[in-house]
Structure 1
Amino acid sequence: MLNMVQISVTALLLPLTLASALPKRATVLIPKSVFDSTTSLEQYFTYNYPWGGNTHNGGARMDKEHVAISPPGTLKITAQPVKGQPPATHGGKQIPINYLSGAVGAKQHFNVPKGGGLVFSGSFQATATKGTWPAFWLTAVNGWPPEIDMAEWKGSGKISFNTFNTSSVLSWKDVAYNNPSQFHDITCELRDVNGKDTQVKFWMDGALQATHVGKDYTGKPFYLIINLQMEGSSGKPGPTTNTTYSVKNLEVTTL
C-alpha cells in the first residue's frame, strides 16, 4: 500500500515539476485586433492625449474627428491645415495652432516589473517631411522622465529612436527613413536588467537599430501614445494640404 501511495504522489508531482520548468507565456495586453473597428479602438484607447489635453508641444490641436479606422484593421490619423484657431500654451509659451489632427492614448498604464519586460510592435506608414511630426511613444504618468520615443519622425527624412533619462541626458539614434509611403515594422522591447534600470531595444523591419538603458525606469508607469503632431520640433511651415499617419498590427505583450 505504501509503495502505491508513493507512486501516485510522484505521478501527481511530475507534471507540476515539468510545468514549472517551462518558460512563461507572454500575456497580450493590447491585441492585434485593436484597430479592427472603432468599438475595439475605444475599448483600449481614449482620444487626445491620455492626461486629458488636446494640445502639447506643436502646432496641432487634437480631436476625435481626425482619427478613423480606415480601412478596418488600420488606424488613420489626418492632420488638416486650418486658420483661426486659438493658440496653445506649452512651457509658458504660446504656440500657434495651424492644424487640426489626432492622438490616441492607451487606457492602460504600462510598467516594466522586476525581472520582466514588455514588447510594443506595429506597422507604421509615416511622413518624414518638414513640418510633420508623427510619433509612437511612451512617457511618464508621474512627472518626467522617463520617456521612450519608440518611433518618431521630425520632418528630417529620418526616423528617431530616443530614450530620455533627463532633458539633457539621453540616448538617440537617427536612421534614414526610406520609402515613407510604405508600411515599416517597428518593435520596441523593454526588459528589466537589475531590478532598477530598463534595457530598451529598437527594431525596424526586423533589424536591430539601437540598444539604450533607461535609468530607474523599472516599475514606473508609462502612457502609450500614438499621435500626429505638426510643426514644433519638425520645423515650419508645415504642409498646406492634409497629412496622414497610419498604423496597423499594433500589439503590446509581456515578455
Structure 2
Amino acid sequence: MIFPSNLKATLALTATAIYFHPAHAATTVIPSTSFSSYSTFESFWWGSDHNGRNSTDHSHIALASSTLSLIATPTSNAVPPTSTANPNPAIHYASGAIHAQSQITVTSANAYTISGEFSSPTAVGTWPAFFQQAVNSWPPETDIGEWKGTANNWFNTFNTSSIVKSTLVSWPTDLSFHALKAVLTAESNGADVKIDFYMDNVLQTTQYGQGFVGQPLWLIINLQQMEGSSGTPGPSGTTTYKVRNLEVTRSGS
C-alpha cells in the first residue's frame, strides 16, 4: 500500500510518540532523609514492640549524623528471659528492630526500588537483616540484606518454606558501608514479581517471587535475631548495625 508523504510523516511521528512515551514519575515512599532526626524517623518508621524507639530511650535504636544504629547488648540477667513465642527460647540479647509505616505492594501498574547503605557486623552469633515480609501471610519474603554470622550477604526469596532461592555474596569484615538495592517489577503473567538484587550498583542475581503481585509487604530492618542460625556463642559485648541513605521509590501508580 502506498501512503501520501504527509500521511507517512504523521504515522512516523505518532509511532515515535508512542515508543518514547515517558514513564510515570517516581514517587518517594521513604526519603533518604528519614534518619535525619527522631521526629522525621517516627514519620516513616515504627517499632513500638521493641526496645529503644521512644524519644527518651535510644539504647537499642539510635540516630546520629543521618545514620540509624541498631544496637544489641547481652542481657545481664543470671537467668535470661524467655520469648513468649513457641518454643520460648532464651533471650540472650536485647536489640533493635524497626518496620516502615508504608507497606510495599507490587502490582502490574507499578514497580519499586529499595536501596540503602549498610555497615553490618559479620561475627559469629550476629544476625542483622534488611528484608520484606508478608503482612497477611508467610511467605512472601525477600531478603535484601541478611548476614548470618559469616562474611557473606544472603539475597533470598521465599516462595514456600522449602522453595527458596538464595545467592551468597562476599561481604567485607571491616564494617565499611556498602550499597544494596532491590528492584521489584511484576512479570507479564500478572502474578509473579521479578527481583533484581544489586551490591555496590552491580547486579548480583535475579530471583522471582511466585504469586507476590498484590501481596502487601512490611519493610523491616532488624538486629533482633541473634545466635540461632548465625551460630553460638554470640558476642560478649555490644554489637552495632548501621544503615544510611535508605530510600524507597515507586514508579507507576
Taking structure 2 as the reference length, what is the TM-score of the superposition?
A: 0.85
In the TM superposition, what whole-angstrom CA distance separates every residue of 1:158-210 from its partner, at most 9, and x where no partner exists? 11000000000010101111244100000011100121100011100111111
From 220, 244, 248, the equivalent of 1:252 is: 248
The count of residues paired between Structure 1 and Structure 2 equals 226
Aligned to 1:5: none
Larger helix share, 1 or 2: 1
Q: Secondary structure at the residue paired with 2:42?
A: helix
Q: Find the aligned partners of 1:230 and 1:41 in 2 and give their Cα distance.
A: 24
Aligned to 2:220: 225
Structure 1 runs (4+) deviating above 3 angstroms are none
Aligned to 1:156: 150
Whether the 8 Å CA contact 2:81–2:92 is kept in 1: the answer is no
Aligned amino acid, residue 99 of structure 1: Y
**Structure 2 unaligned blocks of 5 or more:** 1-13
| 1:179–1:234 Cα change, 3 Å | closer
Q: Secondary structure at the residue paired with 2:39?
A: helix
Aligned to 1:133: 127
Taking structure 1 as the reference length, what is the TM-score of the superposition?
A: 0.84
Aligned to 1:234: 230
Larger strand share, 1 or 2: 1
Whether the 8 Å CA contact 1:126–1:180 is kept in 2: the answer is no
Aligned to 1:73: 66
Whether the 8 Å CA contact 1:63–1:100 is kept in 2: the answer is no
Q: Secondary structure at the residue paired with 1:240?
A: coil
Q: Find the aligned partners of 2:156 and 2:101 in 1 and give their Cα distance.
A: 23
Q: Find the aligned partners of 2:138 and 2:71 in 1 and give their Cα distance.
A: 28
From 212, 216, 241, the equivalent of 2:211 is: 216
Aligned to 1:147: 141
1:21 positional shift: 2.3
Q: Find the aligned partners of 1:106 and 1:116 in 2 and give their Cα distance.
A: 19
Q: Find the aligned partners of 1:210 and 1:94 in 2 and give their Cα distance.
A: 36
Q: Find the aligned partners of 1:94 and 1:86 in 2 and give their Cα distance.
A: 9
Q: Secondary structure at the residue paired with 1:41?
A: helix
Aligned amino acid, residue 130 of structure 1: V
Measured on the aligned residues, the alpha-carbon RMSD in Å equals: 1.7
Whether the 8 Å CA contact 1:128–1:180 is kept in 2: the answer is no
Give 1:156-195 correspondences, 5 Å limit. Answer: 156-194=150-188, 195=190
